[in-house]
Structure 1
Amino acid sequence: MAAVIFDYCLTISQEVQLIWGKKWGIIRITSTLTRYATLMGTAMTTYVTDRSKYTSCATFDNVSYSSHLISIIAAEGLLIYRTFAFWHQNKKLLVWLLVLAAFSILGAVGVSRIVGIFHPIDSPGPHSTGCAFGSGKGSAIQYGFLIIYELVLMILTIYKRFNFYKGARTRLVTTLYRDGMIYMACITMTSFANILIALVVPGNYTNILDAPQLVIHGVLASRILFNLRRESYQYDSAVIDGSLPLADICRTPGGHSIVFVNTNPGTVEV
């Protein structure tokens, strides 16, 4: 909770400059959900950790779980947007990633519920209110699907970097590649740690890294968007109001790069 509040204070000026006041498109909605669903989910997790004072946790747990799910999905949406931009807004790739994301979500929720039937959370003690802070072994399935999807995004980023942008030296391309690799690696390692915890520790303790997972997802995905828009602003201020028109970088036979930057509607400067 301290980490997400500290990061929010550090980046609120970037959010105001790059997000606020813009049209409510897909990117602004997704970034807003990522930021504030992360705050909400972390706050609810922090508040409800002490279960001794509750007699029923069903409603609170449903709202908390929903905020966590929305935050994770929105953060993945920002990562998809980054990959989409890195691939020159390839619409076929975007459709493929969205379909894969839908199957991953359905698979994670469905399989984890089935696993939860056969491996339920440990029974609460005799003095417990029945509000168990855990999700059982099924959570490992959810994080497994998440890791697979993150690896797909990483592979696509690496392939495009060395297949198309090999000779590129622009800050925009460097930022896209650096942020994608470092941040997604951090998210993947956190997910892997959650899988180990889910498989090893008792069921009532499987959510011990639940809040850190949420915070890392939300914070890093938001920073990817902020860095991307800040760097792209140097090329064309119009990208702040719409999806990123990543500069077309073409390799010449001699190995040089030609960057086409659209500075005015209907014109092209080399």
Structure 2
Amino acid sequence: MSAINTGLQTAQYFTVGAMAVAIFDYCLTITQEVQLIWGRKWNVMRVTFTLARYVTFIGAAMTTFAAVADRSKYTSCSTFNSVSSASHMISIIAAEGLLIFRTFAFWQQSKKVLVWLLLLAAICIAGSVGVTKAVNSLNHPAPGANTTGCVFESGNTSAIQYGFLILFELVLIILNVYKRFHFYQDSRSRLVAILYRDGLVYMTCIIIASVANIFIDVFAPAAYTNIMDGPQLVIHGVLASRILFNLRESRESESAIIGRIIPLAHIHHTPSPSTTSGESTLINIQHNDHRAKDPC
């Protein structure tokens, strides 16, 4: 078996495996979605979740089809590839949107933080698309190269997009770590712990997957370039959905948490059974708390 066939087959295995993970995770979490999401008001949070949850399946299905189907008889696959790329971008942007909402909540709904994050996200999206197009315009296909777009491989310009994604994730990590140790240092809130833990795990996984994608795009042969395409998409969709499920479940278990976007303002915790009568587990997170001034 030639190196090209080995690379394409390996990419197929990874892509089909990612699709299987997405379906398996959906079967595991559909009950949570029904209980925690369905029947709720259609607001920005729910729309973002729905895009991250279901457009992921569209993108993963199209990528799986491109990986396993024999498309050698087609003269051009540019339209299919454009729709597939758009579904990938929408899904990842929506998943990152859930992370922005989560960081917004962790920073006590600071509008200044929200504006800066949205601005940074817009810059990263525009930068990744613009730089990629500029580089592609300078690269000319080699003589004899397949230009139909029907071969399951991509150029190394994808590394540019993943680089911008890593930049955005690093900014989110810095914001969350800073807030955790300068604001919630003494907090024993389960909700705060879940916000911090899930966000850190999610962003670390995304960075690892993005670094792997960059390494493959830059150093691996062209046949291997799509190995992490499907997995990266599924990681975004699965983890973003689970973050929201965990937050909703935690909120349901809390005694008095107001708001439908999981705000952290005015969170009161009832004493747990393990506390003594002299201990108080009441935590009042307010903007006017002298111990918890928001630097923004």
- TM-score band by shorter chain is 0.7 to 0.9
Aligned-pair RMSD on alpha carbons? 2.4
In 1: Cα distance, 2:143 partner to 2:244 partner: 43
- Alpha-carbon distance, 1:112 to partner: 1.1
Indicate if the aligned counterparts of 2:63 and 2:230 stay in contact, CA closer than 8 A: yes
In 2: Cα distance, 1:180 partner to 1:243 partner: 16
Identity of aligned residues (%): 60
Residues 1:228 and 1:222: Cα distance change in structure 2 (over 3 Å): same
Q: Which residue matches 1:221?
A: 240
In 1: Cα distance, 2:22 partner to 2:167 partner: 25
Q: Which residue matches 1:267?
A: none
- Alpha-carbon distance, 1:235 to partner: 2.5
Normalising by structure 2, we get a TM-score of 0.80
In 2: Cα distance, 1:257 partner to 1:233 partner: 18
Q: Which residue matches 1:21?
A: 39
In 1: Cα distance, 2:62 partner to 2:194 partner: 33
Q: Which residue matches 2:129?
A: 109
Q: Which residue matches 2:62?
A: 44
Residues 1:42 and 1:190: Cα distance change in structure 2 (over 3 Å): same
Match of 1:188 among 177, 189, 207: 207
Structure 1: 5+ residue stretches without partners: 251-255, 263-270
Indicate if the aligned counterparts of 2:257 and 2:266 stay in contact, CA closer than 8 A: no
Q: Which residue matches 2:26?
A: 8
Size of the alignment, in residue pairs? 255
In 1: Cα distance, 2:143 partner to 2:22 partner: 32
Indicate if the aligned counterparts of 2:189 and 2:283 stay in contact, CA closer than 8 A: no
Indicate if the aligned counterparts of 1:119 and 1:137 stay in contact, CA closer than 8 A: no
Q: Deviations over 1:193-215 (max 9, x none)?
A: 00011111234532221000000
- Alpha-carbon distance, 1:243 to partner: 1.4
- Alpha-carbon distance, 1:6 to partner: 0.3
In 1: Cα distance, 2:91 partner to 2:143 partner: 29
Structure 2: 5+ residue stretches without partners: 1-18, 269-279, 287-296
Tell whether 2:76 aligns with 1:56: yes
Tell whether 2:170 aligns with 1:146: no
Match of 2:283, SS?
strand
Q: Which residue matches 1:266?
A: none
Q: Which residue matches 1:31?
A: 49
Match of 1:113, SS?
helix
Normalising by structure 1, we get a TM-score of 0.87
Match of 2:154, SS?
coil
In 2: Cα distance, 1:175 partner to 1:91 partner: 22
Match of 1:259, SS?
coil
Which residue identity is paired with 2:253?
Answer: Q
Q: Counterparts in 2 of 1:61-72, with a 5 A limit?
A: 61-72=81-92
Match of 2:253, SS?
coil
In 1: Cα distance, 2:202 partner to 2:144 partner: 37
Tell whether 2:109 aligns with 1:89: yes
Which residue identity is paired with 1:77?
Answer: G
In 2: Cα distance, 1:175 partner to 1:65 partner: 32
Q: Counterparts in 2 of 1:146-225, with a 5 A limit?
A: 146-225=165-244
Residues 1:123 and 1:66: Cα distance change in structure 2 (over 3 Å): farther
Indicate if the aligned counterparts of 1:168 and 1:249 stay in contact, CA closer than 8 A: no
Residues 1:102 and 1:125: Cα distance change in structure 2 (over 3 Å): closer
In 2: Cα distance, 1:35 partner to 1:87 partner: 25
- Alpha-carbon distance, 1:229 to partner: 1.2
- Alpha-carbon distance, 1:236 to partner: 5.5
In 2: Cα distance, 1:99 partner to 1:121 partner: 35
Which residue identity is paired with 1:242?
Answer: R
Match of 1:54, SS?
coil
Indicate if the aligned counterparts of 1:109 and 1:142 stay in contact, CA closer than 8 A: yes
- Alpha-carbon distance, 1:53 to partner: 3.9
Q: Which residue matches 1:243?
A: 261
Indicate if the aligned counterparts of 2:78 and 2:149 stay in contact, CA closer than 8 A: no
Which residue identity is paired with 1:93?
Answer: V
Match of 2:94, SS?
helix
